[in-house]
Structure 1
Amino acid sequence: MPAIKLTYFDLRARAEPARLILAQAGAKFEDIRVPAPWDDMEGWQKMKPTTPYGQIPLLEVDGELISESVAITRYCAREFGLAGKTTFESAQADEIVDALQGALEKQYEAYLFEKDETRKSTLQKAFNETVLPTLLGNLEKRLCSRGGDFFVGGALTWADIVTYNFCVELPDKTVVEKYPKISALVAKVGELPNIKAWVASRPKTSL
């Protein structure tokens, strides 16, 4: 098994899908957490130039670095058998993750990045009334079309784990209840013993 170090802020956010996959796989990894920029801006400014793209998370595998959160998460899924059994299944899983990632960026913009209060309110309204219901409705249909239990091949993949993480991190988690198949999937992933143990034991953070 490769020696794995995952470095990110002391937050869930962009590193948590990879952590969840590693936990589900029972993989040993070093969970390196650095203070969030708002807690230690000086420390982050010193670290930032040492990273490939001026950002984290970073995944170190046997001394080699991978940057970009989705690339890191995809690597973990492939390495530990959670990316589908064929290239077509891998593409099906990628499709779901890409759809979620697009919505996640809009969520982050609306709730975290936008500083103008008027525009923030507009973005949040658009996210809650248009972006989120459209996404969840489409995912519900996709899940139903693929058997209703898992997104790919009738078995757990990173698409299911990333969906779980997206849904449990929503500002209003009750919205998922309107989509019975997605809601059931989220509950099922959350009850997986390794996922459940990780969630119970991970550091408590604001994001």
Structure 2
Amino acid sequence: MPSRSRPFIALMLVSLLGGCLALPQVGFMLGRIALSSMGVENVRIGNYHFSPGLEDIDELTLLSSGLALAGLPVNIDLPLAMTLPASAPPIELQGFDWQLQVPGAEPASGEVDEPIQLQGGEPATVTLPVALEPAGIDALASRAERVSSLLSLARQLSRRGELPAGSQLSLTPTLPAALDGIVTAPTLILDIGEQTTSAPDTVPVDG
């Protein structure tokens, strides 16, 4: 594609992303997206589901299923609310990459590749399917220890119904290929409970 066509296409894509936003304003508006966690839902290990606050789960039954459970992660659904300021023009995201750090668990990451429509002042809900493994699980020698660590993490998440303090979620919006190198997508950070230091090219968001 001739290079002279690139700015024209980029401007057309900007009009789709944010109405009449100028190119520099696109990155600025993306950085103003507010993130808020809506809790943790559907905590499970394989076919075993943990209701919030459930304390009387039959651990013996789960431990006897260690062959099936020991290699599985703790799966959760993590709904998020993404909101533009009320005065902001609408923006359509092409998706985003995400990274999640939870105390007591190995870091997790993934991507959302579906378009997300954002209207000023109106929260849009996106649910992340997250798979977590207890920190250091690979170093545990026995199957019983691995299952016990999985149960401990699942219990913690289901009992709280939310990410524990010290958790951090970061999102980097995906831009159309024609905007690559023209607009820099900011990284949005959601800290849960405790504040952590953000990298210079990130945009911190209070939880």
**TM-score higher than 0.5 here?**
no
Greater fraction strand: 2
Larger radius of gyration: 2
Using CA pairs below 8 Å that are at least 6 residues apart, which structure has the higher relative contact order?
2
Greater fraction helix: 1
TM-score by length of 2: 0.22
TM-score by length of 1: 0.22
